[in-house]
Every structure is written in C-alpha cells, then in structure tokens.
Amino acid sequence: MFTFSQSGTTRPWATKRRMSLLAAGFAIIPTKLKGCLLISKRSRRQTREPTTVVRQRPRRYNCAIHPPGPRRSANRPDYSTGRSLMSAELAFMSAVELAENIRQKKVSSLEATENFFERIHRLDPQLHSYLTLCQDQALADARAADDAAQRGGGLGPLHGVPISIKDLELTKGVTTTMGSAVFRDRTPDMDSIVVERVKASGAVILGKTNTPEFGQSGTTENKLGEPCRNPWNTERTPGGSSGGAAAALAAGLCTVSMGTDGGGSIRIPASFSGVYGIKPTQGRVPRYGGYGRPSANHFSQSGPITRTVADSALLLQVVA
C-alpha cells in the first residue's frame, strides 16, 4: 500500500487526491524530493518534507528535430522547421477568414489547396487521417473557384475553402468505403445530400477521412490500413468514429471537416483533438446517402468539426 507524507502525517486518501489533481493538470511534488508523487511506508520514514501543488505546462515535442513517433507530436511543425509562415497561416486559417480572403483575391483557392496536399503528403503517413485523396479533382475545383472569384458575384459561403468529408458520406466518383474492407472498391454514382450542399457552397473537397467500420467504434481503426493517430501525441487515438476528420483538422490538413455522430462520434474526437464539434438536433441535417445502415438514421446526424465556433456555425448553416 502506498500512502502520502505531508508534514509528518500519513494521508491514506493520497491516491484518490493525486488522481483528481492530475486530472485537473496538477502534480503533487515534495519541495525537496522532486518527482516523488507517492511515498511508501519505508520512504515515509526518510522524509518529512511539506508539499506544494504546482500547475504543469503541457509538454510539446519538436517534430522538426524528431520525426513523429512515440510521445511526439505531429501537429503544427511549420513553426519549428524553418518553413515559411505562410504555410502554417493557410493551414490553420479559419474558414470564415479564408473564404473572405479568397473573395477579396488576397489568397487563391489553388494556393491553399496545394498547401494542404503538401502537408498531407508530409504528415499523414504518421497520422492516417485520410482514407482517400481527391487531389486531381480538388486542384481542378480550386482553379475553377479562382476563375469564378475573378469574375465576381454569386460566390458561395465556403467558396474555394478546402474541406474533408468523413468516409460515411456517399461522394460521386470517389471511393466511399464506410471504413469497411467490403466496400474497398466501391465508387458511388451519387452524392449524399450533405456532400451536395457542401459542393453547392463552393467548397473544395480534399478527400475522405478515416473512420472505423460503419462508424461503430469510439476509436478509428479498421481493416483498410493503419489506425488513425492523434496529432498531439501519435501514441494516442483521436477517438471515433470521426477520428480521421478531427485528426486532419487538428494537424492542419484541412480547413474544416464534416463528420457524423450517433453516440459521440463527433464529440469524442473533437474533445480528444482540441477542436470544436457539434451533433445537430435530430432532423436538422438531412441524412439521405450519408450512412451505411438505414436503421441508424433515426439517431445519427452529420455535423461540423472545426477550429472556431464561427466556422461551426457557418458549416452547419451550409448543410442544414
């Protein structure tokens, strides 16, 4: 049994107290015995030092020096690699700001789209956030968006903004697996209503994000490839079932993401990855063509995963 020594007294409840403090981001540290959080009965006789409670700073890893791996982060590497700041600015710019910059011709959709694909090819081999990329079509759509911006008028709310779609949404001409090896080679000839509305808003679809088979798991693992990893710590999961969408967004591999949620499939990955996620009210977003099991449509909803509340409101308005 472990107990805790504080000013010469024994605290049998130390374990429970320690866990509650650690959950809040604190650590119990003896002032002269740094790192000794719990003291055995034998060690208690060797020290009677008082304790202090200090706030721990989150540990960040420099993946420019150390490639992503155990206990290292793949997130936001541009700030430590010496790459141009513009790459990071475009990658982490909000959808509201990026759409406005594209309308004002300060940034081109093609520039933003090419930047995302460069980051995807560089970072996603460690994260596995995408199952399918639509690079050729996305670049063509970005060029068309820039041409339309030059002409002006009639631009959608997400005009030229790169977006990712969870691989539970039917997407015309793009492999849609539902996270299952059964549908590894399936290419739908129609879009779900959500994808139709995303396209109508002027957004550029980068690809389909990773999901467990039919979205039936709180982690993002399937038989199509490697498990999806959390960009803040690649030893960890980003949650599920919209784990690929949240991981891609948190790592700066898209501007906004569309996910689905039945029992936490947007909310869990959003909380694990440090982004915003909403499960809309049932019926707010049409579900036709958006899920592998029709019986799930009575509780599953499509919803946004974003880095800002304003982006969530904008994307929800587009698909609702």
149: region left, alpha or beta (phi > 0 left; psi from -120 to 50 alpha):
alpha
Strands 301-306 and 276-277: antiparallel
What is the reported pLDDT for 293? Answer: 55
What is the reported pLDDT for 239? Answer: 98
Shared-domain flag, residues 51 and 195 = no
Shared-domain flag, residues 223 and 107 = yes
Q: Determine phi and psi for 308, rounding to 5 degrees.
A: -135, 155
Shared-domain flag, residues 49 and 172 = no
145: Cα within 13 Å, side-chain hemisphere: 35
What is the reported pLDDT for 153? Answer: 84
What is the reported pLDDT for 268? Answer: 98
Q: State how far the Cα of 237 lies from the Cα of 227, in Å rounded to an integer.
A: 8
Specify whether 109 is catalytic.
no
What is the reported pLDDT for 53? Answer: 39
Question: CA nearest 124: which of 34, 35, 248?
Answer: 248
In a domain, 71, yes or no: no
Specify whether 242 is catalytic.
no
What is the reported pLDDT for 42? Answer: 37
Q: Which two tokens stand for residue 177?
A: 């697996």
Show the domain range for 219.
78-319
List the catalytic residue out of 108, 109, 265, 300.
265
Shared-domain flag, residues 19 and 98 = no
List the catalytic residue out of 5, 108, 180, 241.
241
Element (H, E) at 196: helix 193-200
Task: Give me the residue label for tokens 């590497």.
Answer: 77
In a domain, 180, yes or no: yes
Number of separate domains in the chain: 2
Specify whether 271 is catalytic.
no
List the catalytic residue out of 129, 166, 201, 300.
166
Shared-domain flag, residues 13 and 119 = no
What is the reported pLDDT for 299? Answer: 80
In a domain, 85, yes or no: yes
Beta bridge partners of 3: 39
Amino acid at the residue 55: R
Task: Give me the residue label for tokens 């020290």.
Answer: 47
C-alpha triplet 111, 116, 122: angle, nearest 5°: 130
Beta bridge partners of 204: 162
* CATH code of the domain covering residue 142: 3.90.1300.10
Shared-domain flag, residues 120 and 251 = yes
CB 128 within 8 A of CB 153: no
What is the reported pLDDT for 295? Answer: 56
Shared-domain flag, residues 43 and 102 = no
Task: Give me the residue label for tokens 């995303």.
Answer: 198
In a domain, 189, yes or no: yes
Shared-domain flag, residues 120 and 43 = no
CB 273 within 8 A of CB 246: yes
3-class SS shares of the chain: helix, strand, coil, % to 5: 35, 15, 50
Shared-domain flag, residues 116 and 29 = no
Question: CA nearest 296: which of 191, 163, 178?
Answer: 178
Is 82 buried (19+), middle (13-18) or exposed (0-12) by CB count in 10 A?
A: exposed
Shared-domain flag, residues 168 and 21 = no
Q: Which residues of the chain have pLDDT under 70?
A: 1-86, 290-297
Question: CA nearest 110: which of 149, 151, 84, 78?
Answer: 149
Shared-domain flag, residues 123 and 236 = yes
In a domain, 72, yes or no: no
Beta bridge partners of 166: 209
In a domain, 215, yes or no: yes
Shared-domain flag, residues 174 and 42 = no
In a domain, 216, yes or no: yes
In a domain, 259, yes or no: yes
